[in-house]
Amino acid sequence: MTAKVFSENLSPTFSDISGVVIAGGRGSRVGYQQKALLTYKGEPILKPIMHSLTEQTVSVWVNANAELERYHGLTRQLFSDEYQGFLGPLAGMHAAWQYIETDWAVFVPCDNPNLPHDFVNRLLEAYQSQNNPLVVVDDGERIQPLYLLMHRSMQDSLSEAIAKNHLSVNRWVKENAHTTANFADCCPEAFQNMNTLASFAEAEIS
């Protein structure tokens, strides 16, 4: 689907929003394994993330670039980056718009099983206070650029950033009009990603 023009008069609802889990990395911090498929409390960590998004969005997609046959056991709504070379989350976000049918999407990383139950609702509330094509989580200390609500019109901006090799999501968000959603009062672990094999091992024995 082609990019659409963003209008401040847009008023997205849950039925206008797809969920996308970004799982397209190399997994360098976890021994070059697929982090989304690592075991968390007896099941792949991807499962609770997808479950949470299923309850808050109209459909859930997963972005992955390796071992796709293993992902097929969890979902058929799967897509890979259009760019080669594991360019990072911006490439996954860019590719998503070729698959999802809604004009809005929420993006989350593949290593946090503790998404708030009102995650999408808080993003929508923030959008109503300041209408921008990006709404990003602020945890009270800093923005969390991998957790965001995005309008389809941002496709061109994503393409331009990737073409310039400007691959930092944090930089890209700050360079574009965005709204911050305040999650400072949320649970402490709401945006704590599991970045090491040790963190997964600790979860199994806790």
Domain of 182, CATH number, reads 3.90.550.10
With respect to residue 116, please indicate whether it lies within any of the assigned structural domains: yes
Indicate whether 158 pLDDT > 80.
Answer: yes
Q: How many domains does the chain have?
A: 1
160: Cβ contacts below 8 Å, ≥ 6 apart? none
With respect to residue 8, please indicate whether it lies within any of the assigned structural domains: no
pTM exceeds 0.75, yes or no: yes
Q: How confident is the model at residue 28 (pLDDT cuts 50, 70, 90)?
A: low
Q: In the predicted model, what is the mean pLDDT of residues 20-25? A: 92
With respect to residue 2, please indicate whether it lies within any of the assigned structural domains: no
As a whole number of angstroms, the distance between CA 31 and CA 73 comes to 22
Q: In the predicted model, what is the mean pLDDT of residues 141-164? A: 96
41 assigned binding-site residue: no
With respect to residue 10, please indicate whether it lies within any of the assigned structural domains: no
Instruction: Please report the pLDDT score of residue 197 as a whole number.
Output: 74
Q: How confident is the model at residue 31 (pLDDT cuts 50, 70, 90)?
A: low
Angle at Cα 69 formed by Cα 165 and Cα 109, nearest 5°? 45
Instruction: Please report the pLDDT score of residue 105 as a whole number.
Output: 98
Q: How confident is the model at residue 59 (pLDDT cuts 50, 70, 90)?
A: very high
With respect to residue 38, please indicate whether it lies within any of the assigned structural domains: yes
Average pLDDT over the chain, rounded to an integer: 91
153: Cβ contacts below 8 Å, ≥ 6 apart? 3, 4, 5, 6, 133
114 assigned binding-site residue: no
Contacts of 42-50 with C-beta under 8 Å, sequence gap 24+, read: 42/204, 44/74, 45/110, 45/111, 45/113, 45/194, 45/200, 46/21, 46/71, 46/74, 46/110, 47/74, 48/113, 49/21, 49/108, 49/110, 49/112, 49/113, 49/115, 50/19, 50/21, 50/74, 50/75
With respect to residue 11, please indicate whether it lies within any of the assigned structural domains: no
Chain centroid, CA 1 distance in Å: 19
With respect to residue 3, please indicate whether it lies within any of the assigned structural domains: no
164 assigned binding-site residue: no
23 assigned binding-site residue: yes
42: Cβ contacts below 8 Å, ≥ 6 apart? 204
Indicate whether 195 pLDDT > 80.
Answer: no
Indicate whether 35 pLDDT > 80.
Answer: yes
63 assigned binding-site residue: yes
More confident residue, 176 or 26: 176
81 assigned binding-site residue: yes
Q: In the predicted model, what is the mean pLDDT of residues 70-79? A: 95
The pLDDT tens digits for 105-125 are 999 999 999 999 999 999 999
Domain ranges, residue 173 = 16-205
Whose tokens are 């023009």? That residue is 5
185 assigned binding-site residue: no
With respect to residue 53, please indicate whether it lies within any of the assigned structural domains: yes
